[in-house]
Amino acid sequence: MLNVGIVGASGYAGGELLRLLLRHPHVQLRCAFSGTYAGKLLGEAFPGLSRYTELRFADMDEGLLTSCDVVFLAQENGKAMHLAPKLLAAGCRVIDISADFRFRDTETYLQWYGQPHACPEWNREAVYGLPELYRAQIEKARLVGNPGCYPTAAILALAPLLKANLVDPSSILVDAKSGASGAGRSKFGLDYHFSELNENVSAYKIAGTHRHTPEIEAVLADVAGLPQLRISFTPHLIPMTRGILATCYAQLRSPQTTKALQELYIEFYKEAPFVVVFTDRLPSTKGTYGSNDCHIGLAVDDRTNRVTVVSAIDNLVKGAAGQAIQNMNLMCHFEETAGLDSGGLWP
């Protein structure tokens, strides 16, 4: 059995890690660290886990943590880059759910996250943890930077088109909606009060100011084989707990049919166990709720020669904890679907 530890285990992503890892066939959860809940049973933070474990949250103990085979870091941005080098030096494999290891270019990290990177040498070695694009690299990795939730939905929606050079990269628009859990468990801003959020939809961080923008651009540029790429990305907060729906638009370089592009996507993702390409409907967030799946649908507008691609994920599973476990499975040479092979809740 693989000994696993989690730092930042009492946040929403940490809670999903606990839920999924406790049923993983090849994992023993060795430790879960939380300053807020130290000394308390996991079930006191997450009642749904009450009958599945007697493990208690602990205060930070680097000695215990370095005895783990794999460590998940689920803290806020700026924490993992200080802890990860110690874990890696001790022989642990590390999967970071924050943004600390998503960028090869540390200047981009500084620009968007407001602090210099503490270990640029490890940042350069880290692998971007989107298995559908970087499976071979993840299998050999010691350190994985888990993608953001919005980038996961947008990149999976657009990658096949850019890889095949079928769209004008400068024309890409991404309009995405997320549930409130995407802000994290400690978010107490006015926008997240029930009376403000309920029966309300609002855009935020518009006009290229959201931190996930450079992440989406960097990966899509890599897929397209371009030195850089610029998109227009607009996120929205909607009154539901979890889920992301990304609607992506791009100008086709030449006329295409919907059927031809559907076949392209099916072929592109034929080895991707968690991507489902619909040919008879469009995705919805309810279809992926609680699962590690990404659902994709598309259509061509013949009048404008544009394609619209819609993707749906659960922001806490495929957009965070589930994808992190998918990466662990690849790094440790387990079945990629181990501990994750269950569909979304419905209704």
Find the CATH number of the domain harbouring 93.
Answer: 3.40.50.720
Q: Is residue 340 part of a domain?
A: no
Average of per-residue pLDDT values in the chain: 95
Q: Is residue 344 part of a domain?
A: no
Token duo for residue 131? 């298995």
Q: Which parts of 225-312 fold into alpha helices (H)?
A: 258-268
Same domain, residue pair 121 and 169: no
Positive or negative torsion for Cα 314, 317, 318, 319: positive
Q: Is residue 7 part of a domain?
A: yes
Instruction: Find out whether 95 and 319 touch, Cβ atoms under 8 Å.
Output: no
Token duo for residue 312? 């749906």
Same domain, residue pair 205 and 239: yes
Same domain, residue pair 296 and 154: yes
Same domain, residue pair 87 and 170: no
Same domain, residue pair 234 and 272: yes
Grouping H, G, I as helix, E, B as strand and the rest as coil, residue 216 is helix
Same domain, residue pair 196 and 284: yes
Same domain, residue pair 301 and 236: yes
Q: Is 294 a catalytic residue?
A: no
The enclosing domain of 220 has a CATH number of 3.30.360.10
Q: Edge-to-edge, what's the strand order for the sheet holding 294-301?
A: 202-203, 232-237, 173-178, 244-251, 306-313, 294-301, 275-277
Tokens 């996250």 — which residue? Answer: 113
Same domain, residue pair 114 and 241: no
**Residues 298-329: tens digit of each pLDDT:** 999 999 999 999 999 999 999 999 999 999 99
Tokens 């680097």 — which residue? Answer: 62
**What is the pTM (predicted TM-score) of this model?**
0.96
Look up residue 148 and give its DSSP letter: P
Check 68, 119, 149, 294 and give the catalytic one: 149
The CA distance from 274 to 343, in Å, is: 10
Closest of 178, 204, 181, 151 to residue 285, by C-alpha: 178
**Residues 28-50: tens digit of each pLDDT:** 999 999 989 999 999 999 999 99
User: Among 188-192, 247-251, 286-290, which stretch is predicted with the lowest mean pLDDT?
Assistant: 188-192
Same domain, residue pair 175 and 309: yes
**CA Rg value for the chain:** 20
pLDDT at 187: 64
Structural domain total, the chain: 2
Same domain, residue pair 154 and 121: no
Grouping H, G, I as helix, E, B as strand and the rest as coil, residue 114 is coil
Same domain, residue pair 90 and 185: no
Domain that holds residue 174: 150-315
Q: Is residue 138 part of a domain?
A: no
Q: Is residue 285 part of a domain?
A: yes
Q: Is residue 342 part of a domain?
A: no
Grouping H, G, I as helix, E, B as strand and the rest as coil, residue 246 is strand
Grouping H, G, I as helix, E, B as strand and the rest as coil, residue 37 is coil
